[in-house]
Chain A
Amino acid sequence: MIEIQNLSKKFNNNLVLDGLSLDVATGQTCVIIGRSGCGKSVLLKTIVGLLKPDAGRVLVEGKEVGKLQELELVALRSKISMVFQGGALFDSMDVTENVGFSLLEHTHLNRKEILGRVEESLSLVGLGGIGNLMPSELSGGMKKRVALARAICIRPEIILYDEPTTGVDPITGDSINELIRSLHDKLQVTSVVVTHDMKSAYHIADKIAMMYKGKIILEGAPDEIQKTQDPVVHQFINGLSKGPITEIVDTFK
């Protein structure tokens, strides 16, 4: 379970998270939606301990992430995976080394077992047999799927996805959605997905949370979100250019 309580984070004078609270139950897929630059990626990085909050706390399995010692943080991160927006594959390593990185660094598995796990993870994302390629030889969509393979290779309990379907073709996007859904159904993985892609959000989410001005302003099941009368959420999910989100911009025109 992930519990986020009154989280605040400021960069210079820009308050990105402003007392944000959200709970994600074990095995649940929570999709966080919101405009670009509203702090969704900052929230993910705070959950995994890459950023320290200015106020508030994040509890993962009851442990406060910001107060963990180095070894406790390492133990926690062996249960959490994160899929970065651009893939964040290591340029100097081939696909096999990228996907098997954690197993190679933190387990005592032999080379044959690691190669088996790597190939299994690559097959799950539909990319079997590309282990010898370097990241520079992959397309944007393939990089995302390799990043996903790297995330699932350690068989994590929690996966954080930063815009997993952005910049990929619709078919690849749908296959990534199916994969997230199947990880949820088969392995009961807890997932937090940040996305702008509403089709993806409705497909994979158990719960959707709308982030606006550093807070979660509405959360609920996908059908509740679709039926909401909240003008901010309504404008965002329907992709309308006019509405409360953009009225400040309109005032200055």
Chain B
Amino acid sequence: MFNLFFMDLGRKVLSFMYFLGGLASLTGQTAYQTFKPPYKYDHIIEQSKKAGYDSLPIVSVVALFIGFIFALQFGYFMQRIGSEMYIASLVALAIVRELGPVITALIVAGRVGAANTAELGSMQVTEQIDALETLATNPVKYLVVPRFVALGFMLPLLTLYANLVGIAGSYLICVFKLGITSSMYRNMTFSALLHKDLFTGLFKAWIFGMVIALVSCYEGFNVEGGAVGVGRATTRSVVFSFLMILAADCIITALFYFIFP
């Protein structure tokens, strides 16, 4: 019984190490191919549209709800201690530093990352990636680099947009339900936010975008076993992306907290 448990544990640890090794190798190849001409601008634009523009509706809805929820939750406590005026500052800081980048990244990992893995996985099982190679085309250059650049570029922009929508949602609740004046809300929001806060959030979003692209493409390239394998890889892609986004968030937050307090 114990033997089986440790064997299973050992297999999972080895499998995770193998995943990290493969991901590191793909990261190196992608970084090299990103800077190596020729540059596929049309592919980058196409992927940017898929990752950015097409994600706007879902990001809008989620960010608006987050704004509503946080205004109400902070309002519940702040009203008890008579400090409603600080709701705007708290919401702005929470969204810009943390919720904006993380929630946007989780949405994009679930929507775009899963689609990347499913698409590349289907290409893998139908030998389209092998066909690319035999046609003298590097699959990393052709398939990974446009997604890597597009997500690295679009996630900070989507985060910026999610920040604005989230703050607008909180504004609606505070002004129309909690009795805070519009000018007070704006003043408290802008006085609380520093350039550093915005930069921290956007830096995180840039890292999350690259993590999503690399994890989703790695899982897509390593699909085995037909349609079942594509489904399994898509699940793994979303789960590992979530884990790595939160791990990266933890590290970056700690880094900024201790190095640039």
Q: Tell me the A residues contacting B by CB distance below 8 Å.
A: 45, 48-50, 70, 73-74, 77-78, 80-82, 84-86, 88-91, 101-102, 105-106, 150
24 contacts between A and B (CB under 8 A): A48-B133, A50-B130, A50-B133, A74-B136, A77-B133, A77-B134, A77-B135, A77-B136, A80-B134, A82-B130, A82-B131, A84-B131, A86-B126, A88-B126, A88-B128, A88-B130, A89-B131, A90-B123, A90-B128, A90-B131, A91-B122, A91-B123, A101-B135, A106-B137
- Residue-wise interface mask of B (117-131) relative to A, using a CB-CB cutoff of 8 A (1 in contact, 0 not): 000001100111011
Q: Is the Cβ of A88 less than 8 Å from the Cβ of B131?
A: yes
Q: Is the Cβ of B127 less than 8 Å from the Cβ of A86?
A: yes
Q: Tell me the B residues contacting A by CB distance below 8 Å.
A: 122-123, 126-128, 130-138
The 6 closest A-B pairs by CB, nearest first: A88-B131, A77-B136, A88-B127, A82-B134, A74-B136, A84-B127
* Chain A min CB distance to B29 (Å): 11
Q: Is the Cβ of B137 less than 8 Å from the Cβ of A50?
A: no
Alpha-carbon separation in the docked complex, A106 to B141 (Å): 14
Name the B residues within 8 Å of A89 (CB-CB): 128, 131
Name the B residues within 8 Å of A70 (CB-CB): 138
* Chain B min CB distance to A177 (Å): 22
Alpha-carbon separation in the docked complex, A149 to B55 (Å): 38
* Chain B min CB distance to A85 (Å): 7
Name the A residues within 8 Å of B137 (CB-CB): 101-102, 105-106
Name the A residues within 8 Å of B126 (CB-CB): 86, 88, 91
* Chain A min CB distance to B77 (Å): 51
Alpha-carbon separation in the docked complex, A81 to B138 (Å): 15
Partner of A105, one of B128, B130, B135: B135
Alpha-carbon separation in the docked complex, A74 to B38 (Å): 15
Alpha-carbon separation in the docked complex, A88 to B139 (Å): 14
Name the A residues within 8 Å of B132 (CB-CB): 90
* Chain B min CB distance to A80 (Å): 7
Q: Which residue of B lies closest to A101 (CB)?
A: B135
Alpha-carbon separation in the docked complex, A70 to B141 (Å): 13
Q: Is the Cβ of A81 less than 8 Å from the Cβ of B128?
A: no
Alpha-carbon separation in the docked complex, A90 to B133 (Å): 13
Alpha-carbon separation in the docked complex, A88 to B137 (Å): 14
Name the B residues within 8 Å of A48 (CB-CB): 133-134
Q: Which residue of A lies closest to B135 (CB)?
A: A102
Partner of B136, one of A90, A91, A106: A106
Q: Is the Cβ of B130 less than 8 Å from the Cβ of A84?
A: yes
Alpha-carbon separation in the docked complex, A50 to B137 (Å): 12
Alpha-carbon separation in the docked complex, A116 to B138 (Å): 26
Q: Which residue of A lies closest to B137 (CB)?
A: A105
Q: Is the Cβ of B134 less than 8 Å from the Cβ of A81?
A: yes
Name the A residues within 8 Å of B134 (CB-CB): 48, 50, 77, 80-82
Name the A residues within 8 Å of B131 (CB-CB): 82, 84, 88-90
Partner of A91, one of B128, B130, B135, B138: B128
* Chain B min CB distance to A219 (Å): 25
Partner of B127, one of A85, A101, A106: A85
Alpha-carbon separation in the docked complex, A102 to B132 (Å): 9
Name the A residues within 8 Å of B136 (CB-CB): 73-74, 77-78, 102, 105-106
Q: Which residue of A lies closest to B133 (CB)?
A: A50
* Chain A min CB distance to B43 (Å): 11
Alpha-carbon separation in the docked complex, A81 to B135 (Å): 7
* Chain A min CB distance to B111 (Å): 18
- In the complex, besides A50-B130, A77-B134, A88-B126, 17 extra interface pairs with C-beta distance below 8 angstroms are A45-B130, A48-B133, A48-B134, A70-B138, A77-B136, A80-B134, A82-B131, A84-B130, A85-B127, A90-B123, A90-B131, A91-B122, A91-B126, A101-B135, A102-B135, A105-B136, A105-B137
Alpha-carbon separation in the docked complex, A82 to B138 (Å): 16
Alpha-carbon separation in the docked complex, A73 to B138 (Å): 11
* Chain B min CB distance to A176 (Å): 18
Alpha-carbon separation in the docked complex, A84 to B131 (Å): 8
* Chain B min CB distance to A99 (Å): 11
Name the B residues within 8 Å of A50 (CB-CB): 130, 133-134
Q: Which residue of B lies closest to A162 (CB)?
A: B127
* Chain A min CB distance to B21 (Å): 17
Alpha-carbon separation in the docked complex, A105 to B137 (Å): 8
Alpha-carbon separation in the docked complex, A78 to B132 (Å): 12
